[in-house]
A and B are shown apart, each in its own frame.
Chain A
Amino acid sequence: MSDHEDYEFEGTQSGASLTYPKQCSALRKGEFVMIKGKACKIVDMSTSKTGKHGHAKVHMVALDIFDGKKLEDICPSTHNMECPIVKRTELQLIDMDEEGFVTLMDDQGETRDDLQAIDPEVRKEIQAKIDAEEDALVCVLSAIGKEALMSVKNMAKTS
């Protein structure tokens, strides 16, 4: 398996749509969805109906993937929701400056330093990894034209 080449699933090139529609009933916890123009990750889902003979409605609680804010939406189960096309990349952590801007390196050895760790918890964790001189990976999510640093984890130890 390789994760370098894209084949047939390219969807985020310029001019391509940033979102795709999906029927509400088929959404599931952990998936991404647009709520009030924000790209969100669904953290809780439940269904309800108005009265015993009403039609199913889906109630979603989701977190904005970029600022962590909680958003909710309720939608008839047969309606379509827009879902963001999310790209998830994991880059090797090299360093972080005082303002939280991190230096990252991709699989090809290209580095970038335009991303900032905004979440104080993640920043603290990154600092800890740097201090401990551990090899770590930083997960970067990009969607609807935005990009953000999400989490950090250790690189796999070769066994």
Chain B
Amino acid sequence: MFKLEDLIVACSTVIAPPQQVGAEKRKDAEEYLLEFRRKASIQDCGDILRNCQDPGVQFQASVSLKSAFARESVELTSDALIQLALDLLQLIEKNECTAQVREQLVMIVAIAVKRNSGQNNDAKGLQIVQQKVQEFASSSQPHGQVLAASLICAVVQEYSGTGKSSFIGLSIEGHQKAKKYYESNCLEDNFSLVMNFLRHLIANPEAIQNYLMVKKFLEIGHLILSWRFTHGKASRISLIREDKTVDVMFNPPESWKEFVTSAEFLKVWFSTHGLVRRSPELGSISSSCIQQICSLKGSCLHDHQVEAEWAANIIKLFQGSLPNWMPAQEHESTGLSYAFKHFIENRSVHIWSMIERYFPPVLSCLAQWTCSMIENAKKSEEYQQGLDFSTDAWIYVMTNFATTEALANIVSPNSLQVWRAWVWSKLSPPDGERIDHDDDDDEIDELEEDDAIVFDTQLAAIGNMARLSIGDTMTHLGLLLNRRLDEITNTLKERGTIRTALWEDIHWIMLSIGHMLADETDSGEMKYIPQEIMSASLKQNAAMADNIGNSQDITAQLIGVVFKLMQVEKAAMEANFQGLWSPQASEDLRWLLQRIAEAYLWFEEDHFSTVSPALQSVFGRDTESAMSLLNEIVEFSLLTFSAWSGEEKILIGSAETLMSLLKKSGKKAKLVGENVKLWSIAEVFCRDSECGYSRTPVVFQRYLMKVILTAGSSGGLPTLQKLGETIKPLQDRFARLATASFANQVVRNELVTILERLTGCVEGVTPDNAESVAEFVLPFIKEMPAIVQTVRGSSDISIQIFTLCAALASKLLAYLEEKRTQPFLLVFLEILRTHSRWNQGRNLKDMDDETVEEFTQIISLITKVLDVEVYDFTSPAKENKTGGGENFVSPAEVSLAGLTIVLPLMGTEGFNYPSLAIAYFDLLNSLCELYPEKLAKLPENLFTSLMQSLQLGLTHFGTDAMKIALESIEALSNYFLKAKSVGSHPANLGASLISLMPFVFDSLLKYASDYDMLPACLASFLHLATSFPEKFRILIQEKSGQCTDNQKHRIQDAFKPLMEIINENQSNPRNMLMRRHFHSTKLLETAVFEIRGLLCMK
């Protein structure tokens, strides 16, 4: 069918320069080549490869051979597959093709032998390839070595992967089987070849000149060291569930023990790295190999004695090599840091106790390496990453090994060395070596993350290290901060400008102090004084003091310096010197004060077996000293609200400090709740829309309202009364709007402000104040439908109203009894209806951000309302489920009605916004899963729209939306079968599901090799096929319409077993889906893999 001469012409035409070949001719040639790729058979390609020496033609033939293989491989017998591999090997051996063609051919060889072992359980092909590899490797020809390397590389790659080559038509199980066979029978041999090569390289270092070969063998080594070994039975589920994001540790079977734990094996890899480490490419791979070797775990190391010896050998190798490996190269920094991390994290305390004398050397090596990373961290991302990994190793050491004083004494000199190097790298001269560049004054975007987040792990480790050597580090940090504080005070006195370098120093000093004084905890978790600090204080045995200023305790002294800084900033705020102050330093200070307030002031004494009298006297429960410090923090935070009105992060930081105290309940909360200044701020804030606090960012204003509400709920009746009086003006302001014209922007602004305040209130709801908040908010909320009507559903106001409603649904309703939620739910429905009346027929072609936000809030409201149904926090005793009743609505009904209101408004245009589309599909999925019966009973036009949106989800918006849509279809099919089993036939649902069937089938074909998508595709289609067996049969017929008769048969045959089992279970399909789910899924999956090459071309 294809003539060699034509192919030669086409190949030369496509690569000919433009002046020689016209566009038309070139297009024809390209068409011809495409046609060749589409239709050429394995036989055609093989003939061309054998008979033509033209590199271009050979390349086309080799690529087309791969496509042909995908089409024909199912029909190839075991012998034919082996013959194909042999033919190709012969071609390669002749050395008549280019490197590119060779790589293509070895890949096909690997695929062919894998297919044979996976499909036919026949390992003959693989054995032949293995023999060839040995033959090539032992040949004296340099070409032989290259072929051996290429072949091993292709085979290792092919067998290690489980998804990449699925287009050759192997089911997941087939892949697993083939992999397991190769792993048990050939992998170790191939690894030995790599080792032999490396031994040869070490003996003949000049062989490094053969760069590409060294690289290839190192790459193969790395592939094998990172191999995911199949332990136990290789199952389909284990593969699908496998977390690909987790690092693969080197975990070979026990039979590899002698080989991989020997001192010689380790020495070869360390020596190789020593040889190649200066080359960026080779050094990077070899360091990654050492990383994998150090991660060794599992059955090879079951014997503790073996593990101890192995670990000692590694430490000796590090000890011997590191002096020569300094300074660390950029490209090896990640690999070797990871090696330390893996090595340390995978060893148990027991092993360390067996090789106790090697513990100090390994720490010393780690310290030396970490310091080198710190020194270079600024230079590149790689070093920075290297530092992160070595820091992880330190965290592990400190958490697991520095648990006794004796062990901590071994760790601390090394950790102190690292701590000093880190502080040195962060401070400016003379206390460090940080150099500030001119570009440090570049514009910094709000999206850039703060140092506290970027360096969180490092900071946590550095804080921990500081606590291991408190005597040195605390005093040092106190001195550093004090010295800078003096400079600030003097400069401010002269009204001079404070150096940026000084602020930067203070920034890092505060971060270091904060992480030293308390560990970072998840939000909501209590912070405590770390045990090391309590013990150090006890040991120091300083005298008791009545205030922080005269305490001799070093912790109290350090905290004293922080308070001094606070006082200086307070004075600066009072003098209106914010312009001279660094907002970043202010933010850091608030963060630090919050930690101190939470962990130290009125600390939980019961948490400690022995409490240091010195700390107790200045920070302890009920002490005047601590109370005055807490008061200072509260006053300082409140002053911030007016002084830093333009800096959102500082304002939020201060508000968070207050919230953290309020959350503690008891005395700390009372102290805030009874603060006179807080209530005077609250009063102005609620009464006056023009007050200074209204100049602050909106996010903060909402937070402030939350603080006010929480403060009001903190102290029982007196503060509740205070709260009532304070927020009452909001009602008056709202009432005044009743007669105002919403055409006026000032009126609209006033309404938005009130809605914002209410949203803030609702965000501060707790189970204790829910009833009172509901009572306060309800009169406002009842007016909202009228407001939506008055503003004719315009976006600016609607967004605020929906935001408030969504907050009510998510924060308040779950705490209310069912009958108390009724008025809210009815109002939500009314708001949605009114809004929809004014927005029908709206032009959404060019949706602006405001419209997107509007719809996001509407969907958020509907979703949150549905959640109310699921999460009900009312106590069963209190519950008074009314149910029924004429006007009774359930959250699910509101949600469903909401969805039917919003869907026509959104139209298809609304789905063009990914976040909106995902939010919609999530909501729809919840409804499909929870209330399919309600969905099915919707009026026809609405139901059709919903189902059409599912179809859009399958075809238009990427895999996230598709996955959710598939899950929804599965849920609906499941319901359909259930309804059918009890004699009901939801006809509209049936017809819609049938119309979705081809789309689900296409998704299944398209995503069969994507293990994230595959389970959802399979489950969804299986449910559809079971629900509509006849349609399933017709669909398969239609899909194979374009194929040849032979291919049609193949497709029919592939689905036959599944069709049979579905037909057998016609009487009780749900039973089949439940009891034979696994079996039927496997049948469908196998069928899809079989025919995928025919219906879906790459």
- Once A9-B744, A125-B843, A153-B841 are accepted as A-B contacts, the answer to whether A51 and B738 lie under 8 Å apart by CB is no
Taking each of B447, B584, B744, B838, which has the highest tally of chain A beta carbons within 10 Å of its own beta carbon? Answer: B744
Output the nearest chain A residue to B792 by Cβ-Cβ distance. Answer: A90
Q: State whether the Cβ of A102 lies closer than 8 Å to any Cβ in chain B.
A: no
Interface centre among A88, A137, A157 (most CB of B within 10 A): A88
B647 and A77 form a contact (CB under 8 A): yes
Quick one: which of B741, B749, B838 contacts A3, CB cutoff 8 A? Answer: B741
CB within 8 Å for A88 and B584 given contacts A51-B442, A125-B843: no
- Kindly report which residue of chain B lies nearest to residue A159, judged by CB atoms: B837
Q: Is the CB of B645 within 8 A of A23?
A: yes
Known contacts A9-B744, A26-B696, A157-B837; is-contact A52 B739 (Cβ 8 Å): no
Chain A residues lying within 8 Å of B850, measured Cβ to Cβ, are 29-30
Q: Does B503 contact A (CB under 8 A)?
A: yes
Q: How many Å from the CB of A28 to the closest CB on chain B?
A: 5
- Contact of B833 with A1 in the complex, beta carbons under 8 Å: no
- A74 CB, min distance to chain B CBs, angstroms: 10
Interfacial chain B residues near A22, Cβ < 8 Å? 695
Segment at the interface with A among B152-160, B312-320, B783-791? B783-791
Give A99 to B740 CA distance when docked, in angstroms.
Answer: 36
Measured CB to CB, the closest approach of chain B to A6, in angstroms, equals: 5
Check A6–B646 contact: CB distance below 8 A. Answer: no
Most buried by A among B789, B792, B840: B792
- Do the beta carbons of A23 and B444 come within 8 Å of each other? no
Binding site secondary structure of chain B: helix
Who on chain A is nearest to B450 by CB? A52
Among residues of B, the one whose C-beta sits closest to the C-beta of A129 is: B841
Instruction: Please state if B750 and A1 are interface contacts (CB–CB under 8 Å).
Output: no
**Restricting to A1-30, which residues have a CB under 8 Å from any CB of B?**
1-12, 20, 22-26, 28-30
A154 partner residues in chain B, CB cutoff 8 A:
838, 840-842
How many B residues have CB within 8 A of the partner chain?
65
B206: interface (CB < 8 Å) = no
Q: A85-B746, A90-B792 are in contact. Are A6 and B696 (CB under 8 A)?
A: no
Q: Do residues B441 and A51 form an inter-chain contact, with CB atoms below 8 A?
A: yes
Closest to B586 in A: A53
Q: Are A26 and B695 in contact, CB atoms less than 8 angstroms apart?
A: yes
List residues of B (44-81) whose CB comes within 8 Å of A's CBs.
none
Residues of A within 8 A of B447 (CB): 46
Residue of A8, A24, A84, A159 touching B736 (CB-CB under 8 A): A8
Cα–Cα, bound, A102→B698 (Å): 39
In the complex, residue of chain B having the shortest beta-carbon distance to the beta carbon of A58: B646
Nearest chain A CB to B433's CB is how many angstroms away?
18
Chain B 731-752 residues near chain A, CB threshold 8 A? 736-750
Q: Which residues of A contact B648 (CB under 8 A)?
A: 25, 47, 56
Given A53-B585, A77-B647, A154-B842, A7-B739 contact (CB < 8 Å):
yes
Interchain CB contact under 8 A, A1 and B786:
yes
> A134 on the interface (CB 8 Å rule)?
yes
The verdict on B988 contacting chain A, using a C-beta distance below 8 Å, is no
Asked if A87 is at the interface (CB within 8 A of a chain B CB), the reply is: yes
| Given known A-B contacts A26-B694, A51-B440, A51-B442, A5 and B741 have beta carbons under 8 A apart | yes
B5 at interface (Cβ–Cβ under 8 A)? no
B243 within 8 A of A: no
Residue A50 lies at the interface, judged by CB distance under 8 Å to chain B: yes
Give residues 840-862 of B contacting A (CB, 8 Å).
Answer: 840-843, 848-850
A111 neighbours in B (Cβ, 8 Å): none
B507 in contact (CB, < 8 A):
yes
Q: Which residues of B contact A30 (CB under 8 A)?
A: 795-796, 799, 850
Q: Verify B842–A153 contact, CB threshold 8 A.
A: yes
Residues in chain B near residue A4, CB distance under 8 A: 741
Contact with A along B746-761 (1 / 0, CB 8 A): 1111100000000000
Chain A residues whose C-beta falls within 8 Å of the C-beta of B701 in the assembled complex: 26
| B646 & A137 in contact (Cβ 8 Å cutoff) | no
Cβ–Cβ < 8 Å partners of B838 in chain A: 153-154, 156
B583 contacts partner chain A, Cβ-Cβ < 8 Å: yes
User: When A53-B500, A88-B794 are in contact, do A8 and B697 touch as well, CB less than 8 Å?
Assistant: no
CA A11 – CA B737 in complex, angstroms? 15
Q: Which B residue's beta carbon lies closest to that of A12? A: B744
**Among residues 96 to 153 in chain A, which have CB atoms less than 8 Å away from a CB atom of chain B?**
125, 134, 137, 139, 143, 153
Docked Cα-Cα span, A6 to B736, in Å, equals: 10
In chain B, residues 435-454, which have Cβ atoms closer than 8 Å to a Cβ of chain A?
A: 440-447
B17 within 8 A of A: no
Closest to B793 in A: A156
Indicate whether B504 reaches chain A with its CB closer than 8 angstroms.
yes
Does any Cβ of A come within 8 Å of B839's Cβ? yes
List B contacts of A125 (CB < 8 A).
Answer: 843
CB of B779 within 8 Å of the partner chain: no
Complex alpha-carbon distance, A137 and B786, angstroms: 18
Q: Identify the closest chain A residue to B738 (Cβ).
A: A1
Q: Does B945 contact A (CB under 8 A)?
A: no
Identify which of residues 24-39 in chain A touch chain B, using a CB-to-CB cut-off of 8 Å.
24-26, 28-32
A52 neighbours in B (Cβ, 8 Å) = 440, 444, 503-504, 507, 584
Nearest CB in chain A to that of B739: its residue = A7
Whether B746 lies near A50 (C-beta < 8 A) is no
Whether A50 lies near B443 (C-beta < 8 A) is yes
Distance from B581 Cβ to chain A, minimum over Cβ atoms (Å): 9
A73 within 8 A of B: no
Q: Are A78 and B645 in contact (CB under 8 A)?
A: yes
- Complex interface bits, B538-557 against A, C-beta within 8 A gives 1, otherwise 0: 00000000000000000000
Q: Is the CB of A87 within 8 A of B745?
A: yes
B697's partner among A26, A86, A134 (CB-CB below 8 A) is: A26
Docked complex Cα distance between A23 and B651 (Å): 15
Q: Give A150 to B850 CA distance when docked, in angstroms.
A: 15
Binary interface profile of A, 48-81, with partner B (CB < 8 Å = 1, else 0)?
1111111110000000000000000000111000
Q: Report A-chain residues with C-beta under 8 Å of the C-beta of B842.
A: 153-154
Asked if B787 and A1 sit within 8 Å, CB to CB, the answer is yes
Chain A residues with CB under 8 A of B742: 3, 88
In the complex, the answer to whether B444 meets A25 with C-beta atoms within 8 Å is no
Query: What A residues does B445 contact at CB under 8 A?
Result: 46, 48
Question: Contacts A26-B696, A156-B792 known; A50 to B441 CB distance under 8 Å?
Answer: yes
Nearest Cβ distance between residue B907 and chain A, in whole angstroms?
Answer: 14
Would you call B741 and A6 a contact (CB within 8 A)?
yes
Separation in Å of the A119 CB from the closest CB of chain B? 12
Tell me whether A55 and B741 are in contact in the complex, defined as CB-CB below 8 angstroms, given that A137-B792, A156-B837 are known contacts. no
Check A77/B646 contact, CB under 8 A, given A1-B738, A30-B850.
yes
Contact A51 B446 (CB under 8 A): no
B849 and A48 contacting across the interface, CB-CB below 8 Å:
no
Question: How many angstroms between the C-alpha atoms of A26 and B692 in the bound complex?
Answer: 10
Question: With A30-B796, A56-B648, A154-B840 as given contacts, are A47 and B744 in contact (CB-CB < 8 Å)?
Answer: no
Residue contact B696 to A25, C-beta cutoff 8 Å: yes
CB distance from B36 to the nearest CB of A (A): 50
Q: A51-B440, A51-B500 are in contact. Are A6 and B744 (CB under 8 A)?
A: yes
28 A–B contacts, CB within 8 A, in A order = A1-B789, A2-B790, A3-B790, A5-B740, A6-B740, A9-B744, A9-B750, A23-B645, A24-B646, A25-B645, A25-B696, A26-B696, A26-B698, A26-B701, A29-B850, A46-B446, A51-B440, A51-B441, A51-B500, A52-B503, A87-B743, A88-B742, A88-B745, A153-B841, A156-B789, A156-B837, A159-B833, A159-B837
Known contacts A46-B446, A54-B583; can you find 19 more A-B pairs with CB under 8 A? A6-B740, A7-B739, A8-B736, A49-B443, A51-B500, A52-B444, A53-B500, A54-B441, A55-B646, A85-B746, A87-B745, A88-B742, A89-B743, A137-B792, A153-B842, A154-B838, A154-B842, A157-B837, A157-B840
Residues of A within 8 A of B (CB): 1-12, 20, 22-26, 28-32, 43-44, 46-56, 76-78, 84-90, 125, 134, 137, 139, 143, 153-154, 156-157, 159
- State the 4 A-B residue pairs at the shortest beta-carbon distance, nearest first: A77-B646, A78-B646, A23-B695, A156-B837
Contact surface of B with A, Cβ cutoff 8 Å: 440-447, 500, 503-504, 507, 579, 582-585, 645-648, 694-698, 701, 736-750, 783, 786-787, 789-790, 792-796, 799, 833-834, 837-843, 848-850
